[in-house]
Structure formats: C-alpha cells, structure tokens
Structure 1
C-alpha cells in the first residue's frame, strides 16, 4: 500500500509540470500560481480545526510566512515561468536538484558539516545538470537559458526552505506547515495576480489545469505526502524525488508530444545519481571499489 501511495504521489507531482506547461501561456505564471496556492490552502483548511494546530499557526506566523515565500510562492512562480520555454520533462529533472541545493545551503548557511560523500554527490549532480542542458543552451533558442536558470533558482529556494523549516519549524504539525505555506503564498501572490490578470477570457481546458494543480497536485499531494511521512517515515517519503522526473517525462511525452533526447536521458540519470549519493541513498564507496 505504501509503495502504491509513493508512486501515486510521484505521478501527481510529475503531472504538475504538465499542467503548468499547458496553463501558464494563457494565464501567466503569477496568476496561475496564485490560484494554485489559494485552492490548496482551502483544501488544507480542515486540518486547522484543532486548537493545537491553530495555536502552532499563531506562534509561528513569521516563520510560516518565510516558508510560504521560499517553498511555494517564489519557486512555484519560477517553475511556471520556466515552462514557457522548457518542456515539462526537463523541468521535472531540474526540480530533482533540490536535495543538492539543500545539502549545499545546509553547509554554507546553517553550519551543517558536509562529508566527502555529499561533496562527491554534489559534483556528480551538477555535472548532470551541465549534461542535461548543454544541447538546449547550444541551440541558442531565445528564452531558454533564462528559463533553465529560473528552474534552478526555484530549486535553490526549495533547498533553503528545507533547512529553514528544520531549524525554525521543528515540532510543528506537518499540516500546519503545509497550510501555512499555501496560505501566506496566497496572501503575497493574490494582489499581484489581480494586477497581472490577463484581459482575454480563459479557456475551459486552462481552468481544468488550474483545478488539477490546486486540488490534486498541491492539496491532495500534501495530504498524501504527510500520510507517508506518518506511516513509513520522512526518508521513505522523500524518495519520491527520484520518481517525479520519470512521470514528468512520461506525461510530457504522452500528452504534449515532447521529445526525449539521449542527452536528456543521460543528464537526468546523472542528476538522480548525484542526488542519491548526496542524500545517502547510494554509498560513494561503490565507486571507490570500482
């Protein structure tokens, strides 16, 4: 059952890149993400019924605001922007660099020592990024370098949010963090979304993508993720990172006709290998013996 839930979560989060790829051109990154986090906050609101949850929310308002900005508002908008020029499959692979940034930021900004295995994993992972984006950058397509940069900056923010949450939100109920991050992301983004709202009418298919992003890919996904954390632990739940790119590529190829290139496959494999080494899923001693 846990394996099925993990695969379902990966499929759902992988689909978020597909939905952003479809909806962003019509709505724009900020209006789309404002709707996404606003809907997700409503989905998660029932978890705030207990007095304990509400008390923790009030006690950690400032820290929840920071996490809302760095784990939702900013990175979601950056990833949505990147889908204007980068396909869903590549975006989902770039998203998998989050553990690499998390380890680097933990060492630089949060005084967490980094071992040789983590350094080795970081080098492998960032080599994978170079392999992944090389052909795309060499092609010289307008907007692509900025889109790739936006996706990587988004994962940098994710990496910061991971470390910030560990330090300042330890002991807070996970659903309080989930709701708080979506709530404060909504508060920040809604005024901007109203200002940037497109003048033309929005198609039914785009509204369908908005609903899927907010209800399924964010609200439901958070519920599923924290259910896994509760049942089998955070380490197991975090392994979803390695499955998301698989589904991101599958959905992009199946529904948008995106081409899977050899360099995309090779770069993605190297990125995931570096991530696995950095997070301790694979021991670097395997390479020493080789």
Structure 2
C-alpha cells in the first residue's frame, strides 16, 4: 500500500454512511493483505522480480485511465513521471519486499502508516508548510512507535532492519505525496498513477532481469505476486481514487487507520505469524500519532 496524493475534489452528496464504511473496510483489507502477499512471494522471487511484477500488473490495470487522458501527457512530462515513479513506487515497493523477506508482514503494515506523518514533515522541511506543535508531537510519538517495533526481538533477529526499511519507504511515500500535486496538479490522478507505475516498471526491468529467480517459483508465490499487482495495486488504487471523488480526500485517507490492523490480522490468521504486545503498543503509538496529526484546531 501507499497513500496516493490527491488534490481536493468536490464530494458527491447522498452517499450512505454504511456504504462508505463498507468500501473503506474493503480497501483496508485489500491493502492490508498486500503485506501478507509480499511475505509469501518475496523469499522466492526476491525484491527486484516481485516489484517488477507488481509495478507492471498495477500499471496494466490502470492503463485505461492513462489512455483516456493521453493528450494531457506530453513527452516533456515523462522524465518527471519516471522520477516520481521511482521515488513513490519502485523504491518503496522494493524496501517493503526486502523487509518482507526478513520479518513478519505486520512490521511492514504498521510502519506503512508513518507515510501520513512523513508527508507533513517533508512539506515542512522542503515546501515551507507550517507543521505546528500538534504535528511535531505526532511525529515524535510515531517515531517512538517505530523504535518500539524495531526492538521487538520476538519477531526475529532482523526486525530492526525491516522496521527501518519500512519507515524509509514511508518517508519516500511522504516525498511523493508532496511532489505529485505540485508537479502534476490538474491531471487525472488515476492516469498519473498509471504513468508513474508504468515508468517505474521500465526503470526496474533491468534489475528484475538480472535478479530473476533461477529456481522454479511455487504456485502460491505466483498467485501472491499476481494478486499483489492486480488487486492490491491496480484495483486498490482505482477504488481509492473513486472514493476520493465520492467522499473527498480527508475522509478517504482514514483508511490509513485500518490498514495496519488488517495487515496484522491477515498475517496472524493465514500465516500464523505472532502478534506481540510490542506490536500492539507500536501500532497504537503510530496510529494515535496519525490521528493526532489529522486533528483540526
């Protein structure tokens, strides 16, 4: 999962609360299960090959949006799209896949929520946006959650480096969240997603070819990789953008609070991965910090 940046849009009136809740829950479940799919597929594919499949399949699903808006994407725009694709997709996806080889899926799911906080931090450091005492406190609390998670030795000896990789991936999502509206404002967001994913897939292709697995890959890993690209990337982004158009970005971003819980639940129920008290504390700290950062006033 990532937190795709979007411009403010008008909401569609008359959408029932139960339907919104259902769609948000479904999207959280899809993005949450993405970390489990990475945990299954990464050991056999390796990060490079898995990321290439995810990027390519996700771009294919969203390609109709790009084809529809093709005239709005001149040749001069594509170097920027490729750069953002690397920052906002290829490298973070590789970091999460690398982490999934080394630690339980819940570690990636929990650290991913830091993207909301890093978006505010990057806006403050590089774009002179006010961060305020509340968001500053939220950042400190969120970082404390990562430290707690990284220190959970019950999750294996590599949990620290996996948590660091997930946090760095979330930082890159924060950079991308600031760049996309500034570089591509006014363009259809789903078309931008297709363009950045497709560009990132081309950039990642040489690495995937060089690191393509020599041994045969199991059906479970192939199924996980395909589901990761088609469902958790392509279809999930399309669902997210549709939600934004219908209920607005401020409400749609609340899916961030549900993804870590869903990710941990999927990994616990289907992979038998442990749920420790440190994971609970880390999740509470990070999600509490995100809630604090989003509070108005």
Same fold (TM over 0.5): yes
| Matching residue within 51, 55, 61 for 2:71 | 55
The structure 1 segments of at least 4 consecutive aligned residues displaced by more than 3 Å after TM superposition are 139-144
Alignment match, 1:238? 253
Partner of 1:71, secondary structure, is helix
Partner of 1:60, secondary structure, is helix
| Matching residue within 27, 31, 34 for 2:52 | 34
User: Residues of 2 paired with 1:35 and 1:115: CA distance?
Assistant: 40
| Matching residue within 84, 95, 98 for 1:67 | 84
User: Residues of 2 paired with 1:166 and 1:277: CA distance?
Assistant: 24
Q: Is 1:207 matched up with 2:225? A: no
List runs of 5+ in structure 1 lacking aligned partners.
284-290
User: Residues of 2 paired with 1:140 and 1:229: CA distance?
Assistant: 36
Q: CA deviation at 1:84?
A: 1.1
| Matching residue within 136, 143, 161 for 1:119 | 136
Counterpart mapping for 1:86-235 below 5 A: 86-136=103-153, 142-235=157-250
Partner of 2:152, secondary structure, is helix
Q: CA deviation at 1:141?
A: 5.0
TM-score (norm 2): 0.90
8 Å CA contact 1:96–1:242 kept in 2: the answer is yes
TM-score (norm 1): 0.92
CA deviations on 1:108-156 (whole Å, 9 max, x unpaired) are 11111111111111112112222222233xx795433322221111111
Change (3 A) 1:47 1:140: closer
8 Å CA contact 1:71–1:161 kept in 2: the answer is yes
In angstroms, what is the RMSD of aligned CA positions? 1.5
